[in-house]
Amino acid sequence: MKVLAFQQLAYRHLPPGFSEKYTCVVTPPYFELVEAGKMHEAHVHFLDEMMHAARVGFDGLGVTEHSQAAYDILPNPNLLLAALAYGTQAEGLKPALACVGRSLGKSKEPLRVAEEFSVIDQISGGRMIAGFPISLSYDSNQNQGIPPIETRPRFAENLALIERALREEKPFPFNGQFSKHPYVNIWPRPVQRKLPIWAPAVGNPVTLKGILERDQVFLYPGWFGPRQAGSAVFKRYWGMAEEMGRDANPYRLAFLQTVAVGETDAEAHREYGPHIENGFRNAFGAMPPSSLSLPGYHDIKGVEILARNPADFGLVPKMKTIKYSELVDAQCAIVGSAETVADQLIELVRDFRIGSLLLMTQMGSMPTGLVKKNMSLIAQRVMPKLKQAWRDSGFESQGWKHKWWPASLS
C-alpha cells in the first residue's frame, strides 16, 4: 500500500471564537484577521513540513486547492508543489507528488492546468499524480461566478480537453461550450506518457460512475467520519464497480484521514486535541451549508442520494460547536499512540479495501514543531505496521498492481 502526507495550508492564528463570528469562505475580512509576518510564516512552515515528510519516508506528498478561504490558503497548489518537486529532486528524494485538487468545475483556463502539471512532472522526473475534483459550490459558483447548473458540464468538458491535450501527438482544434481553441499543442508534455489521476469526491453516484468509467482512483475524504459517513459511500462505490465490470483492485480507492500520533494516547489527546477541535470548527464549522451546495449544483441523482442517506453528511451539521471527543469517537480524527492509530487505520483499510492512505498531519492551529513530530512518529511507528498488515491481509499476495502510481516510481 501507499501512504502519503497530506496538508492544507491553514492560517494558524485565527482568533478564538472565529466560527461564531465569521464564515471561513468568500467573506472573511483578511486585514482584520491576518498578521503579515504570520501569513509569510504559514507558507514557509508548510514547505518545511512537507519536505520533512519526504525526508522521513512518506511515499508521497499531497496538496489541494481552495480559493478565498481562511482554512486553506492555497488558491493554486501547483506553485508550492513545484517548489517541493525541485526541493525533493535536489535532495535525491523521490516521493510521489499528488495535486489531488485542481477543481475543473470552476476552471476558466483548463489548458493552463495541463501545462502546470506537465512542468511539475518534468521538474520531478515523472512523479506527478493529477487530481481533478468537480469543485465546491462556494468556490465555483460564488468565487468564480459560474452558474451552479454549469459546474458539472464545465468539469466534464475541461477534463476531456485536458486528457486529450496530454495525449494527442499533433495539434488539434477544440470547439467546446466553455473553451474554444484554434490549436491545442501544449509544451512541455509530462515525463510520464499518461499522468495517473485520483479523483476526490464525496459519493455522488453520478460522480462515482464517471470515475469508474474513466478508470481513475476514487479519493474519499474522511473528515466527517469514515464509519458514519464513509461506510455507505464505500459500499456504494464497490457495488457500482462490480456492476460495471471493474475489478476489485484495492488501489482503486484512496482515503484521506486526519491523524495525530503521540508517545501515548494521553499525550496525543493533550497535545493535539485543542488544535484539532479548533481546526474542524474553523473550517467545516464556519462554512455555511449553502456554500457547499447552491441550488442547481447537484444533479438529480446526487439530490436523491442525500435525501435518502442523510448519513452521507456525517457530522457536518454539528461542526460549528463540535467537541474534540466527538471528533475522535466518530474517527473524524484518529488520535493516540502509534499502536492505537495503526490499529484503527488497519481496520479501515481491511474493511473497505483501501489501497492508498493520505494522512492529514496538520490541522487548525497546530504548530510546526508538533506537525513534524506527528510526521516522524507516523513514518517510524505507524507506516511499518500498516505495510505489514497489508502484506498479511492477502491483498499483496493477490497480485494487485497500483496502475495509478507515477510510472517513474513503479
* Model pLDDT, residue 131: 95
Crossing angle, helix 77-90 and helix 36-56, to 10 degrees?
50
By residue range, what is the domain housing residue 110?
Answer: 2-409
Instruction: Report the distance separating Cα 260 and Cα 235, nearest Å.
Output: 27
- pLDDT of 292 higher than 90: no
Instruction: Report the distance separating Cα 137 and Cα 286, nearest Å.
Output: 15
- Model pLDDT for residues 344-382, shown as the tens digit of each residue: 999 999 999 999 999 999 999 999 999 999 999 999 999
Residue 123: which residues within 8 A CB-CB, separation 6 or more?
82, 85, 86, 89
3 state SS of 218? strand
How many angstroms separate the Cα of 47 from the Cα of each of 83, 202, 307?
Answer: 8, 28, 41
* Model pLDDT, residue 299: 62
- pLDDT of 314 higher than 70: no
Provide the number of structural domains found in the chain.
1
Identity (one letter) of the amino acid at 118? Answer: S
**Confidence band, pLDDT 50/70/90 cuts, at residue 311:** low
**Confidence band, pLDDT 50/70/90 cuts, at residue 305:** low
Pairing outcome for strands 197-200 and 333-337: unpaired
- Model pLDDT for residues 153-195, shown as the tens digit of each residue: 999 999 999 999 999 999 999 999 999 999 999 999 999 999 9
Q: Which cell goes with 101?
A: 485538487
- pLDDT of 22 higher than 90: yes
* Model pLDDT, residue 303: 52
Place of cell 500520533: 261
The structure's pTM equals 0.94
Q: What is the CATH number of the domain that holds 370?
A: 3.20.20.30
